Amino acid sequence: MEHELTNHPISGEPLPIATPAATMVIFRANPDGGAPLLLMVERVKAMAFAGGAAVFPGGKVDPADFDYAQMLGGPLPLDEAAARLAAIRETIEEAGLVLGLSGVSDAANCIDARAALHGGESLQVVCNRFGWTPDFEQLVPWSRWRPPAHENASRVFDTRFYLVDAGDTMPLATVDQTENRMLFWATAGEVLEKADRDEVKIIFPTRRNLERLAMFVDFDAAAAHAAEHPVSTVLTFVEQRADGSWLCIPDGHGYPVLGEPLGVAMRG
């Protein structure tokens, strides 16, 4: 397990307490050929964090996720297992897709599971009801982001990103109409182009991850790249340059672009 950071390794600033969160980057084969499609959800503008932005499905790790992880046991550290459960649960809630679980065969159960989660039931209860079992190996660790003290300390998230392969199927994803107003499938490059045309908004971490994801022709290539770059926490920092302040990330995490001008960088 990664050593917990208490101070920023570059600035030395104390890091604020962060809420654990998890995100699922869902791949599916492009029926038209070419780069794989990724699922993006557009958050409602009223949301305090990333309001109006297009993001990957995900959210906070709940206490019930930790309880379920504790019950399951296994080789993963508790916080890592809980984060993977949260990514699975949030994807069901936000997009209606049941991924990262084994034993799923009935589409009607998926609809019922989503309703149950929205009704306040835990993922553990839902899985027990339908005979589903978490399959953590389906979730490939991709990255982990945590903003430092100069960000808004009231909504600081320590977010783990996972890659999941939906294969060559056409999974039916539907928006939840609560936290998210719409969803769409697009290649990483297409999402970046939409953002450059102001058709969607993307926050700094999403942009950096899309640039990295755009390097790969399929899920296997992205997963191989992830294996070559073991996850360690990405901490942003502000760098003063001749043309002004830049929001940056350190090299070595696998990202092809390491920063952009602070004035144009969209943060949560």
Domain ranges, residue 148: 19-231
Report the domain count for the chain: 1
Please check the confidence at residue 181 and state whether its pLDDT lies above 90.
no
Given a contact cutoff of 8 angstroms between Cβ atoms, the answer to whether 45 and 237 are in contact is: no
The rounded mean pLDDT for the chain is 89
- Residue 97 in any domain: the answer is yes
- Residue 263 in any domain: the answer is no
* Residue recorded with tokens 């945590």: 146
pTM for the whole thing? 0.91
Given a contact cutoff of 8 angstroms between Cβ atoms, the answer to whether 37 and 187 are in contact is: yes
Given a contact cutoff of 8 angstroms between Cβ atoms, the answer to whether 69 and 85 are in contact is: yes
- Residue 239 in any domain: the answer is no
User: Which CATH number does the domain housing residue 49 bear?
Assistant: 3.90.79.10
- Residue 150 in any domain: the answer is yes
Of the two residues 89 and 2, the one the predictor is more confident about is 89
Give pLDDT tens digits for 236-251.
888 999 999 999 999 9
pLDDT interval class at 97 (50, 70, 90):
very high
- Residue 32 in any domain: the answer is yes
- Residue 9 in any domain: the answer is no
187: closest CA among 157, 216, 166, 147?
216
Please check the confidence at residue 43 and state whether its pLDDT lies above 90.
no
CA torsion sign for 59, 61, 62, 68 is positive
- Residue 14 in any domain: the answer is no
- Residue 116 in any domain: the answer is yes
40: closest CA among 21, 22, 53?
53
Give pLDDT tens digits for 143-177.
999 876 555 555 789 999 999 999 887 667 777 66
Given a contact cutoff of 8 angstroms between Cβ atoms, the answer to whether 65 and 86 are in contact is: yes
Share of the chain above pLDDT 90, in %: 72
Give pLDDT tens digits for 51-80.
578 999 999 999 999 999 999 999 999 999
- At 47 the pLDDT is 46
